[in-house]
Amino acid sequence: MMFDKVLVANRGEIAIRVLRTLREMGIASVAVYSEVDRDALFVSHADEAYLIGPGPATESYLVVEKIIDTAKRSGAQAIHPGYGFLAENATFARACAEAGVVFIGPPASAIDAMGSKIEARALMEEAGVPIVPGVTDPVDTLDDARVIAEDIGYPVAVKAAAGGGGKGFRVALTPDELESAFEGARRESEKFFADSVVYLERYLPQPRHVEIQILADDHGSTVWLGDRDCSVQRRHQKLVEETPSPVVSDDLRRRMGQASVKAAEAVDYRSAGTLEYLVSGEDFYFLEMNTRIQVEHTVTEAVTGVDLIREQVRIAAGQPMSISQDTIAPRGHAFECRINAEDAENRFLPTPAAITAYREPTGPGVRVDSGVQAGSVIAEIYDPMVAKLIVWDVDRDSARRRMLRALSEYVVEGPSTLIPFHRWLFEQPEFIEGGACHEELAKFADEPTSLGGAQSDAPAQDGAEREELATRNFVAEVDGRRFEVRLQYPASEGGSHNGPNPGKKKKKRSGSGSGSTAAADPNAIASPMQGTVLRVEVAAGETVEAGQVVAIVEAMKMENEVASHRAGTVADVAIEAGQAVDADAVLMLLQPEG
Ligand code: MV4
C-alpha cells in the first residue's frame, strides 16, 4: 500500500527535492523546520509544516523524538531523512520502526554493517568485492602500526573506523611520518566520532573517486545505475560530480556494477545506496558504502531518467521498483556543480549572508536543485551548499559547454558563491581532459587565491594589500550601445544598493583576542584563519624548515596545519594550545634573517 502522507526530516535543497517527488506521487507532505528556517523556501513546498525547535540541529533536525512525534501528530506514515542529519543513524531507523513509522531508507542492520569501515571491509572481502590492501582489524598502538605499515608497505593511509568522507584520514609517506599520521587520525576520530579506533591501508597515489548507485527492493531485485566520478574534491569536499566517469572503461564499469550488487546483497540492502571505490587504472577498490541518497544522485537521474527518490518511496512502501537491470540505459553525459555559499578566493570560507538578487539558469538540459531564492538568508549554522546546478548533454564536452553557459546565466548577489570558481574550473585544460585537477585545486590550499581573468568577481590583489571587494553591476548606454559595467569597491566602504559610500570609515582588520596581527612582518608566522590553537609543535629556540608544521589551528571543525613560510629559528611563541586566535594573528616570530 502506498503512503498517504510522508514527513521530510530535512531542510534546504534536499527537502525540496523530496517534497517535489511526493507531490508528483500524490502523497501529502509534511515539513519540519527550525526557528531559523521559519521563512525558508522548503517550508512552502510542503502541504503542512511544523516547528521543531531552535536553530542548532542538535535541538531540532537531529532530535529523534521530535521528528517521530511530529510524524505521529501529523499522521505521516513514513519519514524521508534526505542526506546528513538522521539519514545514516541506525538508532533513528530503529526508533521509527518501534513507533510504527516507515523509515524511507535501508534496514538499520545495513546502516550498522556499513557504519564501521573496518567491519565493512571485512564483509566486502568476504563477499568477493576488492578492498584496498590493508587490515580488517583495529590498529591499537603506534608500535602495532609500525609493524603493520612495514607489512603493507609505504605509503600508508591511517583511517578512522567510524570515519568516512575523509574525516580522520591521514597519510604517512615514510616511516618517520607514521607517528603524526597515527596520532592525528586518532585525535580527529575521537573529536568527531567519540571513537579513536583506526586502521591502516595502502595509500594509493592519485586514485580516482568513482561510485556506483544501487537500488534494492523487497522483491528480490538489486540493480546498479551506472557510476559517478567525484574526483574533483577539495579537502574531501566534493565540488563537481559527473557521469559517466571519463576514465572508466565499459568493462571496468560493468565489473564495478556487478560487485556493487553483490555488496548490497551481502548486507541485505534495501532502498538507494552508493558504493564508493578508489579506481586506479583498470583496478577498483571498495572504500565505503553510503547508506543514503547522496547529494550527487541528480547526475544519475539525468542520464538514466530514473527518479531515485520515487524508487526509494516505492521500495519503502513494499512495492517493486519500477525498473529492472535490462531497462536501465544511461544516455549522454551529466555534470553537477555544487553551488556553495563559499569564497573560493579566500580558502573556500563560508559566506553566510542574505541573498539580495537571485536568478537561476534554465533552458535545454539544465536542472537547478536549490533551497534558496531572492530574500533567503544563508545561515551560518547550516551547510553552505545551498544549490546544485546539473546539466545534461549528449557527450562530455557538450555538457561541459552547457555548464559554462548555465553558470553564466546564474545570478546570486549577496553572498559569494562557487559560481566564479566553477566557471574557472570548467575552462581548465586538465578539467577539459577529464583530469582530477589535484594541482588546480592545490592552488586553493591555504591562502587567498585569485581565480584570475574576467570570470572572477574579485580579481587579483597584492597579498598584503588585499581587501575584500564588493561588486555592483550597472548598465551604461554609450552611443546607443549597451554596456554592462561591474563596479568593484572595498567592502568596508559600504555594501548598500547605492554602491560605495566614501563617507564610511574603513573597517579595521582583526584586532581582539589574540593581540597583534602579522600584517607584512616577514618574521611573523600568522594564523591563516580565525580559530582555536589545537597544538603548538615548536618552542622558542628551535630551528624550523620552510614548510614545517609549527602549529595546528582548528576552525569550523577542520584541523589546519600552519607551516613556517621559511627556514629559521623560532624567536618567540605568542600562543598556547586552547587559545582563540583571529585571522592573521601572530602565532610566532622567527629570528630576523641575515
Ligand atoms: C584514499 C586515498 C588513497 N589511498 N585511501 C578517502 C575519503 C575520500 N574523500 C577520499 N579518500 C581517499 N582515500 C587510500 N587508501 C585517497 C583519497 C583521496 C582522494 C581520492 C580520489 C579523488 C580525490 C581524493 C582526494 C583526497 C583523498
Q: How far apart are the first and last CA of the chain?
A: 81
204 pocket-lining for ligand 1 (C-beta < 6 Å): yes
Placement of cell 586566535 in the chain? 581
CA 536/CA 298 separation, integer angstroms: 43
Mean of pLDDT values over 458-472: 52
Please state the atom number of ligand 1 nearest to the C-alpha of residue 201: 15
pTM: 0.82
> Which is nearest to 416 in space by CA: 496, 336, 354, 337?
354
pLDDT of 500 reads 40
CA 170/CA 158 separation, integer angstroms: 5
pLDDT of 561 reads 86
Distance 287 CA to ligand 1 centre (A): 9
pLDDT band at 493 (very low <50, low <70, confident <90, very high): low
| pLDDT tens digits, one per residue of 267-280 | 999 999 999 999 99
Q: Exposure string (b/e) for 443-456, b if CB count within 10 Å is 16 or more?
A: ebeeebbbbeeebb
> Which is nearest to 308 in space by CA: 384, 388, 226, 251?
226
**Smallest CA separation from ligand 1 atom 5, residue:** 203
Task: Say which residues have a Cβ less than 8 Å from residue 227's Cβ, sequence separation at least 6.
Answer: 210, 211, 212, 213, 243, 244, 245, 248, 253, 256, 257
Task: Say which residues have a Cβ less than 8 Å from residue 128's Cβ, sequence separation at least 6.
Answer: 259, 262
pLDDT of 163 reads 83
DSSP character at residue 37: G
DSSP character at residue 573: E
Distance 573 CA to ligand 1 centre (A): 34
pLDDT of 505 reads 37
Is the pLDDT reported for residue 464 higher than 50? no
For residues 334 and 390, is the Cβ–Cβ distance under 8 A? yes
Distance 26 CA to ligand 1 centre (A): 41
Cell for 352?
553566510
3-state SS class at 41: helix
pLDDT of 113 reads 96
How many residues in the chain? 594
For residues 211 and 274, is the Cβ–Cβ distance under 8 A? yes
231 pocket-lining for ligand 1 (C-beta < 6 Å): yes
169 pocket-lining for ligand 1 (C-beta < 6 Å): yes
Work out the number of other CB atoms within 10 angstroms of the CB of residue 283. Answer: 13
- Which residue among 135, 192, 230, 233 has the greatest number of ligand 1 atoms within 8 angstroms of its CB, and so is best to mutate? 233
Complete domains list, the chain, with CATH:
5-104 (3.40.50.20), 133-202 (3.30.1490.20), 208-331 (3.30.470.20), 335-449 (3.30.470.20), 469-507 (no CATH), 524-590 (2.40.50.100)
Placement of cell 573560493 in the chain? 344
pLDDT of 558 reads 74
Q: Rg for the chain (alpha carbons), in Å?
A: 25
Is the pLDDT reported for residue 295 higher than 60? yes
pLDDT of 504 reads 37
Give the chain's mean pLDDT.
91
pLDDT band at 91 (very low <50, low <70, confident <90, very high): very high
Between 584 and 170, the more confident residue is 170
* Residue 126 buriedness (CB in 10 A; 0-12 / 13-18 / 19+): exposed
Distance 117 CA to ligand 1 centre (A): 14
Mean of pLDDT values over 242-267: 98
For residues 386 and 370, is the Cβ–Cβ distance under 8 A? yes
Distance 259 CA to ligand 1 centre (A): 20
132 pocket-lining for ligand 1 (C-beta < 6 Å): yes
Cell for 157?
593511509
pLDDT of 177 reads 96
Distance 185 CA to ligand 1 centre (A): 14
207 pocket-lining for ligand 1 (C-beta < 6 Å): yes
- Which residue among 278, 285, 289 has the greatest number of ligand 1 atoms within 8 angstroms of its CB, and so is best to mutate? 278
Please state the atom number of ligand 1 nearest to the C-alpha of residue 205: 3
| pLDDT tens digits, one per residue of 4-48 | 999 999 999 999 999 999 999 999 999 999 999 999 999 999 999
Complete edge-to-edge strand list for the sheet that includes strand 558-563: 558-563, 549-555, 531-536, 580-581
| pLDDT tens digits, one per residue of 355-374 | 999 999 999 999 999 999 99
Torsion sign across C-alpha atoms 108, 106, 113, 67 = negative
Please state the atom number of ligand 1 nearest to the C-alpha of residue 238: 9
**Smallest CA separation from ligand 1 atom 6, residue:** 166
| pLDDT tens digits, one per residue of 497-548 | 443 443 333 333 333 334 456 666 889 998 888 888 999 999 999 999 988 8
pLDDT band at 201 (very low <50, low <70, confident <90, very high): very high
Distance 48 CA to ligand 1 centre (A): 42
Distance 304 CA to ligand 1 centre (A): 27
Cα distances (Å, whole numbers) of residue 553 to 488, 518, 556, 558: 32, 16, 10, 8
165 pocket-lining for ligand 1 (C-beta < 6 Å): yes
Task: Say which residues have a Cβ less than 8 Å from residue 417's Cβ, sequence separation at least 6.
Answer: 339, 340, 341, 342, 351, 386
pLDDT band at 448 (very low <50, low <70, confident <90, very high): confident
| pLDDT tens digits, one per residue of 503-512 | 333 333 333 3
Secondary structure (DSSP) of 347-399: TTEE---B--EEE---STTEEEEES--TT-B--TTS-SEEEEEEEEESSHHHH
CA 152/CA 201 separation, integer angstroms: 7
Cα distances (Å, whole numbers) of residue 380 to 132, 269, 346, 352, 386: 37, 36, 17, 5, 12
Peptide bond before 244: cis, by omega within 30 degrees of 0?
A: yes
pLDDT band at 209 (very low <50, low <70, confident <90, very high): very high
Question: Measured in whole angstroms, how far is the alpha carbon of residue 14 from the centre of its chain?
Answer: 14
Lowest mean pLDDT among 214-223, 335-344, 565-574: 565-574
- Residue 512: what residue type? S
| pLDDT tens digits, one per residue of 561-576 | 898 988 999 999 999 9
201 pocket-lining for ligand 1 (C-beta < 6 Å): yes
Secondary structure (DSSP) of 174-188: SGGGHHHHHHHHHHH
